[in-house]
Structure 1
Amino acid sequence: MGLFSRHWSRIAVTLVPLVLALLHAVGVMKIGVLQRLDDIIYDARLRATMPRTLDDRIVIVDIDEKSLAEVGRWPWSRNRMAEMVNELFDRQKVAVVGFDIVFAEPDDSSGLKRLRQLAGNELKDNPAFGEKLNLLQASLDYDALFAKSLQGRPIVMGYYFTSDREGHTSGALPAPVMDRSTLQGRPIKFTSWNGYGSNIEQLAKAAPIAGFFNPVPDPDGLVRSVPLVAEYKDNYYESLALAMFRILMGSPRVEPGFPQEKWVGRNYQGLDSIRLRLGDKSLAIPVAEGVISLSPFRGPGGPKGGSFKYISAGDLVNGKVPAESLKGKIVLVGTTAPGLQDLRATPAGEVYPGVEVHANLISGFLDNKITVRPDYALGYDVVILLLAGLTLAFGLPLVSATRAVILSVSVIAVVVVLNFWLYADLGLVLPLAAGLVMTITAFALNMGYGYFVESRSKRELAHLFGTYVPPELVDEMAKDPVSYSMTATSKELTVMFCDMRGFTNMSEKMDPTQLQALLNNVFNRLTDIIRGNRGTIDKYMGDCVMAFWGAPVELPNHPHLAVKTSLEMSNAVRKINEEHRAKGLPEIGVGVGLNTGPMCVGDMGSEIRRAYTVIGDAVNLGSRLEGLSKVYGVDIVVSESTRKLANDFAWQELDRVRVKGKKEAVAIFWPVAPLERLEKGTQEELKTWATFLKAYRSQDWDQCDVLLINLQRMNAKKYLYELYSERVASMRLLPFDPEWDGATNFETK
């Protein structure tokens, strides 16, 4: 007890993250980042354990873009849908068909409705017309044809539930699979809606079994689960996947599965499972709060995902699929066409076919492999947090730093291994993030307790900033050390990315020692130029160097310094290549990207490794601009924000671009030279180029061709003019587009 009394303050500090984690776990103070981290852990674990194998029991008939091109735009006429159904059952002999689509409106595409109007009005005195209509109407009633193809067959129609103020409804609902009496008066929380959109009554009568296909997106927008049974006006309806599975199992009765009362009270507001009972046999499908089931994703999804066989609906309707090639298969009819809006964001893929979510569930039902996030996950989380937190709180203060690391790593290992074992062996999805973050935070607080920096000296500044900024800047900072820290702040800075060209070829032809010496020589010279212009080295990334101007020491002319540096670096590379040619070494090139804008600058990273760096959208744009230097055949690409603040240089506008991750187009430029060194011939070339860009953005291709000929005469070796010659030739083939803003889109980084 004496040891604990001496370390009570460290114990108290270590208990702080435990208390916060417990408040999060019990729902008193939800910490969004922990919930998001739990989702990330679940998604990563799911992707790591996906079988990525083909389930040949299930086939998806895909109304894809190819089908729409061959058969016509959606919705197709119901006679074509009847042909599809007859093809599936008569020629292909499938086991069951489920529609992940809804037929909410009558099909008047045959013109029968108008013909009947004519027979009753304008042509009512023409008996021949009426007789002919009587002969034709059976073949023109497409809804009747479709309904006839559905009758007596193992088919599950799809529909959806909605929630809005008015509770809109359309179509006919199927019979519910459960009613409130089966719940024995228990206040079970079902996923519920107040409206629905279902199939027209004619089709609903022909195929009375139907299932809803609503997924349940999580707060981050990802679809991870689907309700198995949902509530609507005190009746309970089954999902599409469950309805199809029940047909395969011989249509067992659906019952609520209650947990044993010795473990939970009678007022427990959840179900343990949904039970399918057929005679004296039953199958329990585990469910979570809301009576939902996590989709056991098999792979990345889509026709190329490898989880399920996809067949183009057009091929099926047009008889291109060999007879009985789908015999005995479970068939889901859905769509991957973007325009039909059934693509979801899931842990297995950002663009995932909604129909495949249901296919995964059916596959999981067949294999009895359904994971569940149980309602008792809260109790599990509390117990783990208490055990781990108290172990750390009373153990860390008593041991050395090395043993504290071992203790913390051991606690993390036990928590992680137990969590993963429960997932892999029992299919339980239990929280992990709070335990991990609590353990790491407790260790960090305990080890860092008592260490507080109240003042900074020149030596501390040198230690913090010496590897990033020139020594003369450190001396300047030391005059007022209180004004400088590594605390993250937002400032307008200029960032540079400089990438070495030809490095891959050199690495293939040179031994590692030679390559290291060459790379070090180049970086030493480029670094000297950056430091000579008061730049801060951010980091070296392989064959790339990143630097910025304006922090930690404020530099009002940081855009000018950055541009000046880039031109000096370009000249230095030319001198290096002259030396390389003399020594028989390979030549190199550089690509530089510059951008000015608001950035977050400060000490960032992990507990293991940190760095004084910049982050932000403006930094990302600078990186993208460096990559564009290869596209335009120049060594430097500068954003418009930098160009506006560096007026003492001559500029050539390269393009207006829309880079990956940015919606707005930005102008990009190449610094030709300082204004005082600009030659007269180059001035004329830049004027001609400005005229060309105006014609280009006006889509005046004839004038563009004339101006490009003149430009290539002025500078025949310039790749930029060759690039735009090719663009003009391509654009000439397209019609005039009044909406075109003249920008070039880049979808890659």
Structure 2
Amino acid sequence: MRISRLFSHQHIRLLLGILVTILLLAHVVGALNLSFIQAMERFAYDARLQLLTPGGLDDHIVIVDIDETSLQQEGHWPWGRNKLAQLLDRLFDQYQARLVAFDVVFAEKDESSGLAALQTMRQAQISQRPDIAQLIDALAPGLDYDQQFADSMRGRNVVLGYYFRHDSRMQHNIGALPPPVMQADVIAGRDIAYQQASGYGANLPLLQQQAKAAGHFNPDPDEDGITRRIPLLVAYQDGVYEALSLAVARQVLGNVQVMPGFSHSMHYAGMEWLELGQLKIPVDANLNALIPYRGRQGSFPYVSAADVLHGKVPQQQLQDRIVLIGTTAPGLMDLRATPVQSVYPGVEIHANMIAGILDGSVRQQPAYTLGAEFLLLMLLGVGLSILLPRMRPVPATMLSAAVLSLLVLSNLLSWKIGVVLPLASALLLVALLYVLNMSYGYFIESRSKRHLAQLFGQYVPPELVAEMAARPNQLGLEGESREMTVLFCDVRRFTTISEALDPQTLAKLMNEYLTAMTRVIHQHRGTIDKYMGDAIMAFWGAPLHDEQHAANAVNASLDMVRELEKVNAGFQEKGWPALKIGIGLNTGEMTVGNMGSEFRMAYTVLGDAVNLGSRLESLCEYYAEPVIVSEFAVRAATQYLYRELDLIRVKGKDAPVRIYAPIMVEDAAAEQELNQYELALAAYRQQQWQQANIAFMALQTMYGGRRIYTLYLERINHFSRHAPEADWDGVFNFGSKRGEA
């Protein structure tokens, strides 16, 4: 019955594990949207990114920062285009920058010079004052800041920025787009969910015509508002347009062409990378690229735009560098939330992306990882659902920890080689299966403990009940045969004591006595069978197997004698009579289990070995020993020192049995007495009556009047006058007066 219940629990755990696995698989394939798993995956991505960012300073890209200092020195933003022209002239002429890119859009004309007002005045004065009109015409070129800025870009490696709109309600476009990097029909018909813009805000045509290239700087944050990727290509009408970082990288590489990269697999039609000459940029199904953050803000050198304008920056810091012009000033609203820092300059995001494209550190997260995740979850789910229900808590914990560690380590290794694999769903599956099995086991175990406590709480201590629950396979209530040790304990002359006490006092005395003795038995892993008036019956070796059952029983019997001394001291203070006990121990094959009738059952032991234990207890008064154990118990508990008392044949048994008394105090004097006693006993059994008599007389004189010495002196006196029969084997037969055969 127990086995069938065990298997049913395993089946339930297996089914629950498979159900959890199916739920996660449904999420992976998109049939079920579990947003918390997506949040966990983003958290896991951020944790890996923060843990494994390369750090350090990449000085190949320099950020010219329109910071608070620059705004204080040069005036509020936007600056006049003539100042930006000066900035470009400084960067190219004095500092010999390799490329300059603007993380700024110049969508409106610069009218800060007052040129528009002068043109209006010219129209008003041209007929009346031709000289004023001529003067205005002469001043106009110097006040056309847009033209000055365009002239400063002419022939130089300058990349502008712009943005796309995705709100179809806003139809008005601003400025002029650059030429597309490819036509939309190049990727038409492919499984690519790229962004489709509805409008744009771009630079003045005058400026766009002079720039070498331009790229959009549209952010694409995830649902939690954190920027982890950049859309490298965005479609608008019939063209496909590049991001600012891609435009910069292309110009650095010599204005190479952007080519789509498709997998050779016949089962996947999506684009997996973009080709820039010899470089490959991994992209996902939406043509987004993961930003390879180097670290927190400051991974690239910053210089103040004001310092560049005034020539205060060292030449070597900007020479032959890629220069990005952007802002970190909070009021200009170009700050983003990123995995490495909650407030991060947008211009440095572009710097990270450009550096990643050029050095090949952009990590790939191809669409086929979805299939890998599905297969991994299926293997983990089925495997752990089968294994964990069959394992005990410690091995199950070790296995789960090992699987979790292996998942994390293998994922980190794939990250190091540039492949981003899903992690959260696999970790969650392993954790859920572990918690499911441990929780199920815990509650079932708790229920089993309560059941065991109901069954065995009156027999064994709570500590043993907990151990029984931990080892249920060793339990059984049906009758079975085991080698065990039984103990019988009885109070000497109890009838006389009970007659001298009133019922209330007698009840209190017995309660204190039985409690103290039971506590000792429990401390030594014993099971209380029953109380029989003043007698106690206990056994060792059930309900749990105990390899040391005999040793534990002997130890308990000795401690019971010692504990009785403390109990008697308390009784003396209360004016109660002192108690004396006798304990009999025997080891042997016994039948143990629930036995009784349909009206009452009890967990008990039966058998000849039990009966012998009871007979030994009754001999304690005859030999004046508090504890008597059989030779079978002595063989099973050899670590103690014993005094052989006799070789006896009890009533109802043909085979004789040796009985012993364990030595209470083991010291040199006890060992010396025991050695002399063994010599005396050997002389007795060899019928050397005179020698034996002398030996026992010496023992009685030297070590006091032990009852056993008196018994043997009486027997020697008898056998000296009445020789035993020729086949006498030294056995004392209880029932004959002097042990005659």
Considering the TM-score relative to the shorter chain, is it more than 0.5? Answer: yes
Cα separation, 2, equivalents of 1:417 and 1:319? 50
Identify the residue that residue 192 of structure 1 maps to in structure 2: 196
Identify the residue that residue 411 of structure 1 maps to in structure 2: 403
What is the number of residues matched between the two proteins? 444
Secondary structure, aligned partner of 1:157: strand
Using the TM superposition, give the Cα deviation of residue 43 of structure 1 relative to its aligned residue in structure 2, in angstroms.
0.6
Matched, 1:155 2:147: no
Secondary structure, aligned partner of 2:363: coil
Identify the residue that residue 223 of structure 2 maps to in structure 1: 219
Residues 181-260 of structure 1 correspond to what in structure 2 (within 5 A)?
A: 181-183=185-187, 185-260=189-264
The farther-off stretch of 129-138 and 314-323 is 314-323
Q: For residues 373 and 167 of structure 1, do their structure 2 counterparts lie closer, same or farther at Cα, with a shift above 3 Å needed?
A: farther
Q: For residues 202 and 125 of structure 1, do their structure 2 counterparts lie closer, same or farther at Cα, with a shift above 3 Å needed?
A: same
Identify the residue that residue 367 of structure 2 maps to in structure 1: 375
Cα separation, 2, equivalents of 1:398 and 1:239? 55
Secondary structure, aligned partner of 1:217: coil
- 2:191 and 2:285 in contact (8 A); partners too: no
Using the TM superposition, give the Cα deviation of residue 455 of structure 1 relative to its aligned residue in structure 2, in angstroms.
12
Using the TM superposition, give the Cα deviation of residue 345 of structure 1 relative to its aligned residue in structure 2, in angstroms.
0.4
Using the TM superposition, give the Cα deviation of residue 327 of structure 1 relative to its aligned residue in structure 2, in angstroms.
1.0
- The C-alpha deviation readout for 1:460-481, integer Å capped at 9, x for no partner, is xxxxxxxxxxxxxxxxxxxxxx
Using the TM superposition, give the Cα deviation of residue 324 of structure 1 relative to its aligned residue in structure 2, in angstroms.
5.5
Cα separation, 2, equivalents of 1:323 and 1:6? 76
Matched, 1:439 2:430: yes
* The one of 278, 286, 289 aligned to 2:285: 289
- The C-alpha deviation readout for 1:513-561, integer Å capped at 9, x for no partner, is xxxxxxxxxxxxxxxxxxxxxxxxxxxxxxxxxxxxxxxxxxxxxxxxx
Secondary structure, aligned partner of 2:337: strand
**TM-score normalised by structure 1 residue count:** 0.57
Cα separation, 1, equivalents of 2:354 and 2:42? 23
Cα separation, 2, equivalents of 1:21 and 1:126? 83
Identify the residue that residue 22 of structure 1 maps to in structure 2: 25
- The C-alpha deviation readout for 1:369-416, integer Å capped at 9, x for no partner, is 111222122112111111111111100111222111122112212222
Identify the residue that residue 134 of structure 1 maps to in structure 2: 137
Matched, 1:34 2:40: no
- 2:235 and 2:241 in contact (8 A); partners too: yes
Using the TM superposition, give the Cα deviation of residue 187 of structure 1 relative to its aligned residue in structure 2, in angstroms.
4.3
Q: For residues 440 and 229 of structure 1, do their structure 2 counterparts lie closer, same or farther at Cα, with a shift above 3 Å needed?
A: same
- 1:174 and 1:208 in contact (8 A); partners too: no
Q: For residues 323 and 399 of structure 1, do their structure 2 counterparts lie closer, same or farther at Cα, with a shift above 3 Å needed?
A: closer
Cα separation, 2, equivalents of 1:361 and 1:447? 46
What letter matches 1:18 in structure 2? T
Residues 59-74 of structure 1 correspond to what in structure 2 (within 5 A)?
A: 59-74=62-77
- The C-alpha deviation readout for 1:623-666, integer Å capped at 9, x for no partner, is xxxxxxxxxxxxxxxxxxxxxxxxxxxxxxxxxxxxxxxxxxxx
Matched, 1:347 2:351: no
Identify the residue that residue 43 of structure 1 maps to in structure 2: 46
Using the TM superposition, give the Cα deviation of residue 446 of structure 1 relative to its aligned residue in structure 2, in angstroms.
1.2
Using the TM superposition, give the Cα deviation of residue 181 of structure 1 relative to its aligned residue in structure 2, in angstroms.
3.3
- 1:182 and 1:255 in contact (8 A); partners too: no
Cα separation, 2, equivalents of 1:60 and 1:348? 18
The farther-off stretch of 312-321 and 327-336 is 312-321
Identify the residue that residue 271 of structure 2 maps to in structure 1: 271
> Where does structure 1 lack aligned partners over 5 or more consecutive residues?
460-749
Using the TM superposition, give the Cα deviation of residue 310 of structure 1 relative to its aligned residue in structure 2, in angstroms.
0.5
Q: For residues 126 and 453 of structure 1, do their structure 2 counterparts lie closer, same or farther at Cα, with a shift above 3 Å needed?
A: farther
What letter matches 1:286 in structure 2? P
- The C-alpha deviation readout for 1:475-514, integer Å capped at 9, x for no partner, is xxxxxxxxxxxxxxxxxxxxxxxxxxxxxxxxxxxxxxxx
What letter matches 1:197 in structure 2? G
Identify the residue that residue 597 of structure 1 maps to in structure 2: none
Cα separation, 2, equivalents of 1:300 and 1:65? 20
Secondary structure, aligned partner of 1:349: coil
Identify the residue that residue 101 of structure 1 maps to in structure 2: 104
Identify the residue that residue 304 of structure 2 maps to in structure 1: 312
Cα separation, 2, equivalents of 1:294 and 1:188? 17
Could you say what the CA RMSD is over the residues aligned between the two structures, in angstroms?
2.2
Using the TM superposition, give the Cα deviation of residue 123 of structure 1 relative to its aligned residue in structure 2, in angstroms.
5.7
- 1:13 and 1:446 in contact (8 A); partners too: no
Secondary structure, aligned partner of 1:158: strand
Identify the residue that residue 429 of structure 1 maps to in structure 2: 420
Cα separation, 1, equivalents of 2:85 and 2:127? 31
Identify the residue that residue 583 of structure 1 maps to in structure 2: none
Secondary structure, aligned partner of 1:149: helix
Secondary structure, aligned partner of 1:13: helix
- 1:14 and 1:443 in contact (8 A); partners too: no
Cα separation, 1, equivalents of 2:237 and 2:217? 18
Matched, 1:56 2:23: no
Cα separation, 2, equivalents of 1:217 and 1:109? 35
